[in-house]
Structure 1
Amino acid sequence: MHSSADPVQQPSQTVLPNGLRVRLMPLLGSSQAAALVRVHAGSHDAPSAYPGLAHFLEHLLFLGSRNYTAAEGLMPFVQGCGGQLNASTRERHTDFFFQLPADQLEEGLRRLVDMLANPLLDPGAQLREREVLQAEYQARAQDAETLCDAALGHAIDPTHPFAGFHAGNRDTLPVEDAAFQEALLGYHRRFYHAGQIELLLAGPQHEEVLQCLAEQMDAGLASHPLVRREVPPLRCKANGWFRLQLSTAQPRLLLAFALDGLPEHAVPALDYLSAWLASEAPGGLTQRLRDAELVQSVKLRIPYWYAGQGVVVVELLPTERGMAAPAELVEAVLDWLRFFSDDARWQPCHEEYQRIRHRSLQNAEPLTRLRYWVDPLAWNLNSDEAAIKQALSLLSAQMLGCAPLVLITDKTSCAAIETSGFPLRLQSEPPQRTVPADWGWQQPAANPWLTPGLLRYEAADIPPALRWQGPEDMSGQGALFLRWQFMRGESFPALSHTLTHALQSAAWAAQQAGVALRFEDLGDAWCLRLEGFAEAIPAILSDITPVLSAPPAAAFTEGQALAERDAALSSDVMLVRQLLNRLPRLLMDPTAAPGQTAASSSLARLWQTAQWQGLAIGFASSISGPLTDAIHTLPGTPALFPVARSVPATVKRWHDVSGAAAMPETAFLLFCPLPDRTAKCEASWRVLGRLIEADFFRRLRSELQLGYAVFSRFCQFDEHAGMLFAVQSPTASANEILDHVEQFLSDSTVKLAEQDEDVIERAARQASDRHVASASDFRAQAEQAWQSLQAGHEIDRPIEIAAAMRTLQRQDLTAALEALRLARAGWVAVANAPAPDSGWT
């Protein structure tokens, strides 16, 4: 991807006649475009009588507008283009954003402006969508982070809007009442107009074209002046210690700081502080606490920020030892903040921070750029560094000026307290004290991968097990994929967790250097992915190879504990997401039992039997030398022959991952593998997936109101490609969800038979046109190439699929749907519930 300007050059803002504020980012050479709308109104601006109204309106806007029905609106349109979209209601703003093929930007914007300006707000749709918010409320009532923030609001200042309940549920949204409807319309009229909205656009279009699109949006919105909103003072009224009962989540220790009256440059100052507080660099806070076996991780969160006031949270995941010494951890964090606020830290840390931000935006996707620049004070080339430094001093002074509120979460029994929203079991506790330790803090080490200083030379030979794929990516990106195959049917969760833990700091440092490092456990195979800034990848691989071969001793202990914890579902991560994380491992031989405890001897034996294959794509030939030198040191043996691919079992397999634990919600996945490996079969299933995606969402989420986490799509996990259906529901059982999926597939057969031939041909043609990743979209191109090799195909497989799509007719899609519905290649179900009957193995 190429940009017409420096990636850290902030796009200028203009104001159009109706008041719409606009920032435009031409990205020459990009195949994708993106739009982000920020409405300057959020949950704190809704009438206090109707908590959740702002969030509810955000949902309703997607359910039909004056010129587009719900089936024609923005969500199905973007999904049909293979794009991505979402919306988010925060305390003082609401965002709507999407990314899609660049030639569809104008059509997407037409739908966006129509839903913002002319929503139908149909009463029947409101009743149905309220049930979706009720399901979302029930899911969030089990979410650890949500409950922590609710507890902090209650403890800091119960009278401030931060302490209020803003998610909305069945009780707070009386859609049947005329007064509620008047309030809903009034909120929309007051805030959804050009004067209250910002628009950011990015794409390969010339700036004049983007400007024209922005002017069309401005003309489509009502013209009113910006509404100024009052901000009540924020004062922490209880500088004490609290304990929150979370029975199924990993223990946490939170230090909360209530801040007020800070200058506007506190925003980039907080980002700067966050980057260093969560740093995993040698000598940094996280690394020192981890070396002392006190924590697993440290991060800074900002659950609320507006107009110079907010709540800043330092969140630690303590080890067992750390949970036994919370006062020691609190004092260590405060001591580090005192050390970091010294003027001597500013210059070296600030220069490193600038390199980090520059690299994070280099070759970033359009939507990533928009989400960064939507904050007008985000760090850029022209930032007022003196103002940021001054704001950091004021920020540090407030954080260190009084004791933070401390919140401990664990399984300790606490009494329920009265709340107007999420249920809390919360109690105050006497503050704990400790003798301050002399940590001897030092400047965190600089990240060497940010300035790799690569010595370029061509390789004398490239291992046959490594596929070297050109041409060189002109934007300086590269991707390296490595896959180690073990004996079929074996899995090693304790050892994979050991390596994941050992690579944690490396993954953080690689991310700073513009490279995504991912280590994946695929059951009887492991995969390492390095994607991003090409010049940094050889050094990263060279430095992490010794860690792969022989991790530190402490990593084995932690890996064993992580594997045991991962075996049980928790409330730390959304339930359906936990099932998705397990699915790749469950698609292997289901009869295999996990093997090997976390020990160095076990890992050494495993590497002796592992065979690896890989793909290097986008690299310049002058990088082949250092890259292949690093590859020659990899553990395992290069595979001399292609690894045999598994054949789908024609049975229905059900994986109950509940561990017999009762849960308030049901999560269900159904994966339907491709029945054969031909290009025509895959093409048919991919087009079918696009045709049914929006209908599946609308049927199970909007009409049946099963839950708010509902989706379907064609996807591939390692070598396994097929159709995936996913639902998380607070009301339906796994058996009931399965029945709904089967009924949907049956009804889809009827709909497909009645569908106009030209609709099918157009869908197949559009899928064909968009299937092969553009040469300017390096990430997609690399992913397609790797997926093709994983599935045992050649790299030109996408071209073959696109050609097959153009020849598809109704009978091909009908045959694909029939094979899917009748489980010709078997089904794999994953749920936190037992199988419904003996028809499943």
Structure 2
Amino acid sequence: MRKSEHDHRQFKYTTLDNGLRVFLVQDTDCEKSAASITINSGHFNDDKNSPGLSHLLEHMLFLGDHNNPTANHVSSFLESIGGSINAQTGTEYTSYFLDFPDDYLAKCLKLFSTMLIKPIFDEQLLKNEIQVIDAEFQAKVRDDLRRLYQVHKETCNPNHPFSRFSVGNKEIFETFSSSELRTKLINLHRKNYQPQQACMCVISSEDLLVIEQQVTQSFATWQTNNTHNTLELPSLYQPDNLAIKVNIEPIIHTQRLIITFALPSQKQHFRSKPLTILSHLLGDEGEGSLLYFYKQQGWATNLNAGGGIEGSNFKDFNINIQLTSLGIEKTDTLIQVLFAFISLIKNNGIENWRIEEVATINQLMWDFSDATKSIDETLHLSQAMFEYPAEFLLAGEHILDQVNAELALGLLDYFVPTNMRIKAIWPKVKTNKIANWYNTPYAVEKLTNPILQAYLNQESREELNLTTLNLSKPNPFLPQKQIAKPINQEYDTPIQLINQAGLQIWYGQDNKFSQPKGDCFLSFDCPAVTQGIEVVAAKRLWIALLNEKLNQRYYQANLAGMYFHFYPHQGGFSLQTNGFSQNQLTFYTKLLTQIVEHEDFIHSFEQVKNRQLLALSNKLLNKPINSLFSRLAVLMQQNNYLPLDMVNTTQSVTPEIIYQTKKQLLNQFHLKGLMYGDWTSDEADQISSVIKSFRANYKVAGKTKRGVADIRQDNTYIHQVDSQHTDSAVVIYFQSPDASILNTALTIIAEQIVAGPFFHTLRTEQQLGYLVGSGYIPYNQHPGLAFYIQSPHASVEQLIQAIHQFMQNFSNNLLEYSSIWQSIKKGVIKQLSEKDTNLSMKAQRLWMAISNNDFDFSNSQKMFQTIEKLELSDLVSFFEKLITKQGFGEIILHCGPLSTQSQINNFAPILDPKIFKKTIGYL
């Protein structure tokens, strides 16, 4: 099996007697064991008269089996031990995946097998789950991705199963009786959920032999019918589906042009990756690129090349362009330029060094990839087992060992106007049809021969003056052979190199991952941000403008695995770099210098400003739950503002205001930084000296206060948020009495213990909606607990009452958890103490500790010790005080009308968020 030389895990690929293919991974560093099974059956296998049946089947497998008939038994058990389970239904595959502590390997695999193999399909639960599926469908009715996807389905070959609706809803499923639908599910399960049509991956720290024995014991009894379902798929597109323009009117304000070229499946070329090469050329963002030309003309702000749907017999290659208003007027010219650039590639050919450069980048990214969670990797690998030969299971996504420029050039024969589909997506586009299910306005126009020929017209190209178009030059940021530096153990925990007024710098050297990588952080706390919304709006626009410049300037650095992030926060702004350590410190100091240097933003100002305004305006169109949590953050954080107010303020910002605001921000600030990774102490000292010299040029300030609204009042605050969605939605947030380690620990463990029962009671049993859940949400380290529901049928009053009633009942019955109290605490500690899976995650954790003034990095250990000492009686007392509001704050946010508030004692309506923020006290 091909694997990276830096991958020291043990592997075994085997097939059980029943045909189940199994890939076993022993990873002694994994925090949790994980397993995933992918079935070669998805919505393409639905009956024509019951679209969404595979999705419903996926849901029903969670609702009881012959060994464990209780609904959500597996989910509840996994949550109780700190594990999780989920599933997803795709076009041709359905996957189920879970994780759990290592010592539960045997039990969890057995639960997993019976869940998949022996479902009971209870008719009453089936009726309930139809409501859940329908709520899921209703929650996405105004989701533009779903709406665009449906138009795509309706504009391809109607005989291809891709064209069918895949989610399902009440309207479809209730055309059948419960017994009829149950029979359909049983037949679909019996036919397709076969071991010879499944692939399984398990990752654990256990020995491979132990893993294999447990898998065999749990899954060898899965009986096979020795048949293989092979779908004979027609072409995805008929001639009438090509050389067309599809106009689509979105809900969220966007201006996108998607140009699609239809290709056959390219999976067999995984060792030469011709589409990756073409994506690399067409998606370049540097000087001379296609995007660079569009930006210079003022037509576009962003371009992505290479995405698109794919399946066993089709592959779309998309060029997705974010347009300006001027670009909308110039779409035909813009497409002409695209074909001119494609001709440029054909005429110049593709030199081998370009492919070798991509191969080098791929190899580096593979050799030094950030480890993923075991549950995510098992999911990926169980799906990849269908895509790659066993030898290339690990390598298939990364390997490029067959350089074949002619193959890539040959694919450009598909990149012609007659094989093209154009999607024009912007407001007020001309439409004459309404798509099924999601009510998306659209129109289809067949492109005439004169139009198709005009896209390739040589004379028109000459008039456009395309001499600036060029293919990219060799990447100067491509790192040489990477070897991690010797490790000095004393620096694994960061030490403080500089501690003076207005400047604190830490340095550490990783001793675990042995990767030639690192992360650098630098945070500016600027008192100017407390002066009001005008400074905050101008600051955000300045950062967006500078990012526009830097992204273009350092696009090749990004390609070569050296990244930067320049972003705003409540106290000011931050700069972060990460990736390969070679040359990163020099890159870091260059960026620091360019933050303070004068940049001319005149050329890009209107484009970037309009993009910023568009993003802010679109926040007003979020689905209800997102809108409520966004508003909660505004109400709870002192330096956070309403999107509409930010829109109004940003509209009046000029370049002069940008320069003035930048001067205000940099006039006085506090600087805090961390370098952590593959650097020696000498290198860290050198860069620290540079930062110290830089710091000396500006006035000193203390850390900016990040106030949190103090809602710990006798009143319950209530606030309505407008929404264009018809669903009702409620978020109830409880603010804990203080930010002590004890109350933080109690809030965390409260959320952990309540999450499963809350979901099961209000979603599965009471059928209140699809989006149901809870979360631990601290604001600036002050802990809090949130509960949320979005419902297509229940009123706001019903949702509030249901949450309050659940909390009361749960509190009354908490003593029932006494027998598993210790295992609950153990599970929470295990989750909180999960090992860092990669160097960046470790660096982020250390940086968060520094940001929270945990300079000796001991808070985590204190938290574990506090949780270990907790008694169940402490949690009972915590819930009793929360419900009676003894020291707790409560705020209810809702979308949809609240006709009466008589059920809520001592309520205080928030009619104007700005007045609330001016009058509330801050912690």
Q: What TM-score does the superposition give when structure 1 sets the normalisation length? A: 0.87
Is 2:292 the partner of 1:253? Answer: no
* Residue of structure 2 in register with 1:125 after alignment: 125
* Residue of structure 2 in register with 1:392 after alignment: 408
* Residue of structure 2 in register with 1:703 after alignment: 765
Deviation at 1:712, TM superposition (A): 1.4
* Residue of structure 1 in register with 2:192 after alignment: 191
Separation in structure 1 between the aligned mates of residue 467 and residue 622 of structure 2, nearest angstrom: 33
Q: 1:74 to 1:737 in 2, by over 3 A?
A: same
* Residue of structure 2 in register with 1:764 after alignment: 825
Separation in structure 1 between the aligned mates of residue 250 and residue 190 of structure 2, nearest angstrom: 41
Is 2:229 the partner of 1:227? Answer: yes
Separation in structure 2 between the aligned mates of residue 359 and residue 284 of structure 1, nearest angstrom: 25
Deviation at 1:401, TM superposition (A): 6.6
Give the alignment partner of residue 638 of structure 2, picking from 589, 596, 599.
589
* Residue of structure 2 in register with 1:443 after alignment: 471
- Give the 3-state SS of the residue equivalent to 2:813 in structure 1: helix
Identity %: 19
- CA contact under 8 A between 1:417 and 1:426: conserved in structure 2? yes
Deviation at 1:220, TM superposition (A): 4.5
Deviation at 1:187, TM superposition (A): 0.9
Separation in structure 2 between the aligned mates of residue 326 and residue 653 of structure 1, nearest angstrom: 50
Deviation at 1:500, TM superposition (A): 4.2
Separation in structure 1 between the aligned mates of residue 318 and residue 215 of structure 2, nearest angstrom: 37
- CA contact under 8 A between 2:359 and 2:399: conserved in structure 1? no
Who wins on radius of gyration, i.e. which is larger?
2
- CA contact under 8 A between 2:9 and 2:28: conserved in structure 1? no
Spell out the pairing of 1:345-744 with structure 2 (5 A cutoff).
Answer: 345=350, 347-361=352-366, 362-365=369-372, 366-370=374-378, 373=381, 374-375=383-384, 376-377=387-388, 380=396, 383=399, 385-386=401-402, 392-400=408-416, 402-412=418-428, 414=430, 417=433, 419-429=435-445, 431=447, 435-436=460-461, 437=464, 438=466, 440-445=468-473, 448-451=476-479, 461-462=497-498, 464-469=503-508, 472-476=511-515, 478-487=518-527, 488=530, 490-491=532-533, 492-500=536-544, 502-503=546-547, 505=551, 512-514=559-561, 517-530=564-577, 533-535=580-582, 537-549=584-596, 553=601, 554=603, 556-569=605-618, 576-577=625-626, 580=629, 584-589=633-638, 597=653, 599-618=658-677, 620-622=679-681, 623-625=683-685, 627-628=687-688, 631-632=691-692, 646=707, 648-649=709-710, 650-651=712-713, 658=722, 662-732=724-794, 734=796, 736-744=798-806
Deviation at 1:532, TM superposition (A): 5.1
- CA contact under 8 A between 1:499 and 1:559: conserved in structure 2? no
Separation in structure 1 between the aligned mates of residue 354 and residue 105 of structure 2, nearest angstrom: 40
Quote the RMSD (CA, aligned, Å).
4.0
2:667 partner amino acid: Q
Q: 1:200 to 1:388 in 2, by over 3 A?
A: farther
Is 2:812 the partner of 1:750? Answer: yes
Deviation at 1:44, TM superposition (A): 0.8
Deviation at 1:126, TM superposition (A): 1.7
CA deviation vs aligned residue, 1:451-475 (integer Å, no higher than 9, x gap): 1799999999545512335554433
Is 2:194 the partner of 1:178? Answer: no
Q: Give 5+ residue unaligned stretches, structure 1.
A: none
Q: 1:279 to 1:645 in 2, by over 3 A?
A: same
* Residue of structure 1 in register with 2:920 after alignment: none
Separation in structure 2 between the aligned mates of residue 539 and residue 369 of structure 1, nearest angstrom: 34
Separation in structure 2 between the aligned mates of residue 101 and residue 627 of structure 1, nearest angstrom: 42
* Residue of structure 2 in register with 1:304 after alignment: 309
Separation in structure 1 between the aligned mates of residue 893 and residue 594 of structure 2, nearest angstrom: 33
- CA contact under 8 A between 1:60 and 1:129: conserved in structure 2? yes
Aligned length: 836
Deviation at 1:763, TM superposition (A): 0.9
* Residue of structure 1 in register with 2:318 after alignment: 313
CA deviation vs aligned residue, 1:178-213 (integer Å, no higher than 9, x gap): 332222111111111211111123343443344334
Q: 1:188 to 1:756 in 2, by over 3 A?
A: same
Separation in structure 1 between the aligned mates of residue 209 and residue 34 of structure 2, nearest angstrom: 16
Which sits farther off after the overlay, 114-123 or 463-472? 463-472
- CA contact under 8 A between 1:253 and 1:316: conserved in structure 2? yes
Q: 1:259 to 1:382 in 2, by over 3 A?
A: closer
- CA contact under 8 A between 2:719 and 2:909: conserved in structure 1? no
Separation in structure 2 between the aligned mates of residue 530 and residue 709 of structure 1, nearest angstrom: 36
Q: 1:774 to 1:159 in 2, by over 3 A?
A: closer
Q: 1:21 to 1:731 in 2, by over 3 A?
A: same
Deviation at 1:498, TM superposition (A): 4.2
Separation in structure 2 between the aligned mates of residue 359 and residue 743 of structure 1, nearest angstrom: 55
Deviation at 1:369, TM superposition (A): 4.3
Q: 1:429 to 1:755 in 2, by over 3 A?
A: same
Deviation at 1:40, TM superposition (A): 0.9
- CA contact under 8 A between 1:50 and 1:180: conserved in structure 2? no
- Give the 3-state SS of the residue equivalent to 2:424 in structure 1: strand
Q: What TM-score does the superposition give when structure 2 sets the normalisation length? A: 0.80
Spell out the pairing of 1:86-235 with structure 2 (5 A cutoff).
Answer: 86-174=86-174, 176-225=177-226, 226-235=228-237
- Give the 3-state SS of the residue equivalent to 2:825 in structure 1: helix
Is 2:867 the partner of 1:805? Answer: yes
Q: 1:545 to 1:203 in 2, by over 3 A?
A: farther
Separation in structure 2 between the aligned mates of residue 559 and residue 528 of structure 1, nearest angstrom: 20
Separation in structure 1 between the aligned mates of residue 342 and residue 70 of structure 2, nearest angstrom: 51
Q: Give 5+ residue unaligned stretches, structure 2.
A: 902-906, 911-923
Separation in structure 1 between the aligned mates of residue 146 and residue 10 of structure 2, nearest angstrom: 33
Separation in structure 2 between the aligned mates of residue 406 and residue 333 of structure 1, nearest angstrom: 13
Q: 1:480 to 1:212 in 2, by over 3 A?
A: farther
* Residue of structure 1 in register with 2:244 after alignment: 240
Separation in structure 2 between the aligned mates of residue 166 and residue 29 of structure 1, nearest angstrom: 39
Q: 1:723 to 1:520 in 2, by over 3 A?
A: farther
2:588 partner amino acid: L
Deviation at 1:300, TM superposition (A): 4.3
2:789 partner amino acid: V
Separation in structure 1 between the aligned mates of residue 313 and residue 561 of structure 2, nearest angstrom: 31
Spell out the pairing of 1:829-840 with structure 2 (5 A cutoff).
Answer: 832=895, 839-840=908-909
- Give the 3-state SS of the residue equivalent to 1:172 in structure 2: helix
CA deviation vs aligned residue, 1:127-146 (integer Å, no higher than 9, x gap): 22212221222233212222
- CA contact under 8 A between 2:708 and 2:780: conserved in structure 1? no
- CA contact under 8 A between 1:285 and 1:336: conserved in structure 2? yes
- CA contact under 8 A between 1:489 and 1:590: conserved in structure 2? no
Separation in structure 2 between the aligned mates of residue 46 and residue 167 of structure 1, nearest angstrom: 11
- Give the 3-state SS of the residue equivalent to 1:402 in structure 2: helix
- CA contact under 8 A between 1:22 and 1:198: conserved in structure 2? yes
Deviation at 1:442, TM superposition (A): 2.4
